[in-house]
Amino acid sequence: QVQLVESGGGLVQPGGSLRLSCAATGDIYSIDGMGWYRQAPGKQRELVAMITPGGGTNYAEFAKGRFTISRDNAKNTAYLQMNSLKPEDTAVYYCNFVLISRIGYGIVHWGQGTQVTVSS
């Protein structure tokens, strides 16, 4: 059984920073892509950033220059460093990992979500 455990959300003032973490636990063979998504009230879930096993990254336009995704393959963990936060960044943030099984197929797993609130 694999679980993704998120941490690091909370309340921050505009212009502040937060660092989210997402650790995969359980029976893990290997992990392909790792990503972060977010969903604000009344809106669809959207991609924030993603990172390949080799460190290649892709960011949503709103995240470029402010957010940084990284990963520690030894710890099966992804991070999202968020700087210069704005009220419109308020959302539930979800991590998303593609786990590769021993026989080579990929399985998508989601974290439980962590609330990020940007407000003065």
- What whole-number percentage of the chain has pLDDT above 90? 95
Q: Region 102-112: what's the mean pLDDT?
A: 93
**Do residues 34 and 105 make contact, with C-beta atoms less than 8 angstroms apart?**
no
Q: Tell me: pLDDT of 104 over 90.
A: no
The per-residue pLDDT of the chain, averaged, comes to 96
pLDDT on residue 14: 98
Q: What is the pLDDT of residue 21?
A: 98
- For the chain, helix (H) and strand (E) counts, in that order, are 0, 11
DSSP state string for 82-101: E-S--GGG-EEEEEEEEEEP
Tell me what pLDDT residue 1 has. 86
Is 105 buried (19+), middle (13-18) or exposed (0-12) by CB count in 10 A? exposed
